[in-house]
Structure 1
Amino acid sequence: MHRLPFVLPDDPHAPFPPADQALDEPDGLLAIGGDLSLPRLLQAYRHGIFPWYSRGQPILWWSPDPRTVFRTDGVRLSSRFRRELRRSRWQVRADTAFAEVVARCAAIPRPGQHGTWILPEMQQAYRRLHDLGHAHSVEVYDEDGVLAGGIYGVAVGWMFFGESMFSARSGGSKIALAALARRLHDWGWPLLDAQVANPHLEFLGAEAWPRPRFLAEVANLVRQPGREGPWTGAFGTMAAAGLAASSSVR
């Protein structure tokens, strides 16, 4: 008999079903409905669950198996790209243009996708998370101070759940990812969630973890004391050129 996903009640504090009850087909679909309120979203991320749906669909909540993750000391940049980085005058900062990063991620065309899953209500929900210190962005600025790329996601405890990234200029998203991973590694945060695999992420060093292993790590990491509020000061300004020889980039 075909199993159906769990329907969430209206109460935003109501618990999700255990993530290991997600469907095999489509892979990882766990629940439908609910809302994008702060308590619902934070509860989802704490349990390795994230929302992902298209216009005209109800909110869909996922926990795929396997899960795509980066070790924060395991982002790989090619030798050619690292040679280019050594001459770069670009700089990386955090939480200086969150809304713009989210909007640019929503607007960028992606192979095999029609439209975007980062709908206006999703953008609004993540801006609320950001305003309350739970969602963060990393921005890459070129030599003229123009945004060249970025990444955003949600932090809970010592766990960063990446949502999306973009490049306005070649290499912008790779620099944002590598810089985020380096800083997280500096802070002692071991993992960066990338949700679902694609060839680009795999090329950059993403690993496929069985869901039970991922959930066990998340359960421990989200209990650790996180970083409250904006990351701008703690992240600092990072020279993209420094990533060419960073210990967190292989």
Structure 2
Amino acid sequence: MHLPWLNPGDPFPEASQAWDARQPAPGLLAAGGALDVESLHRAYSSGIFPWFSEGQPILWWSTDPRMVLFTEEFRLHRSLRKTLANFVRDPRCELRFDSAFDEVVRACATSARAGQSGTWIVPAMLKAYRAFHEAGHVHSVETWVDGQLQGGLYCVAIGRAVFGESMFTRAPDASKIALAGLVAFCRAQGIPMIDCQQNTRHLASLGAREIARSEFVAHVAQASVLPAARWEFDPVYWRELLPPPTHV
């Protein structure tokens, strides 16, 4: 079970070479390398992402199957629809992009992934994604109520390929509102898919599903070379999820 070791600047192996289900860490592709902007750009553009814990080397993954959310398949359940409608109507509430990026990522770092006792957003990752954000490829989606940040998420965006990374919440449904805002934005911008990386019950309940890695990599190859969207949230985008009532 040889795992390729990368020196900084080395090319990544093909995503299809990642360990399969017969091996101890399915989806693991390589170790080492660097977390500079160029390496992260090459990785995401190839369907590869970093994920490791404190004390480990940089580990690179490309899971098969891949969990994705097709934006047209987003499930806005009745209770969330009501919550979202109230949020949109309330002048104290606002969805923002990139106004508190550092706070969002730090908040995500304190929220362990399901089944884990620690965080994968280690200091090296915080530094790397800050630089990637400054290069224009990482964005925060933020739920604000009464001038307070109540929840959000951050995502990588290369061209029209969007990769969800992590989310947090400080109030009921605040992270779901942020995800709904990202979905509305993506629909308005013609972005059909949001990468979710790994399967969780929570994501599945919102409409995410698994697809073959080959299908995902092909999508990313096409979408990542398209012109980037303008990452500004216009409240009119909520119409993608909450169309105005029809009057007869």
Q: TM-score by structure 1 length?
A: 0.89
Alignment deviations for residues 96-150 of structure 1 (CA, whole Å, 9 cap, x no partner) = 11111100000124442111000111011101111121111110101x1111111
**Helix, strand or coil: the match of 1:87?**
helix
Residue 79 of structure 1 is matched in structure 2 by 78
Distance 1:179 1:185 in 2: 10
**Structure 2 unaligned blocks of 5 or more:** none
Runs of 4+ in 1 over 6 A off after TM superposition: none
Residue 179 of structure 1 is matched in structure 2 by 181
Residue 7 of structure 2 is matched in structure 1 by 9
1:35-184, aligned counterparts within 5 Å?
A: 35-88=34-87, 89=90, 90-142=93-145, 144-184=146-186
Residue 21 of structure 1 is matched in structure 2 by 17
- 8 A Cα contact 1:91 1:238, kept in partner: no
| Deviation for aligned residue 1:86 | 2.4
- 8 A Cα contact 2:137 2:157, kept in partner: yes
Distance 1:194 1:111, change over 3 A: closer
| Deviation for aligned residue 1:70 | 0.6
Residue 189 of structure 1 is matched in structure 2 by 191
Residue 245 of structure 1 is matched in structure 2 by 242
Distance 1:183 1:111 in 2: 27
Distance 1:70 1:117 in 2: 22
Residue 211 of structure 2 is matched in structure 1 by 209
In angstroms, what is the RMSD of aligned CA positions?
A: 1.8
**Helix, strand or coil: the match of 1:152?**
strand
Letter in 2 for 1:78: H
Distance 1:18 1:76, change over 3 A: same
- 8 A Cα contact 2:138 2:155, kept in partner: yes
Letter in 1 for 2:157: A
Distance 1:239 1:172, change over 3 A: farther
**Structure possessing the higher relative contact order (Cα contacts under 8 Å, 6 or more residues apart):** 1
Query: Percent of aligned pairs with the same residue?
Result: 46
Alignment deviations for residues 154-194 of structure 1 (CA, whole Å, 9 cap, x no partner) = 11111011110111111011111111011011111111101
1:223-242, aligned counterparts within 5 Å?
A: 223-227=225-229, 231=231, 234-237=232-235
Distance 2:7 2:243 in 1: 46
- 8 A Cα contact 2:29 2:61, kept in partner: yes
Distance 2:204 2:113 in 1: 17
Alignment length (residue pairs): 237
- 8 A Cα contact 1:155 1:161, kept in partner: yes
Distance 2:206 2:98 in 1: 23
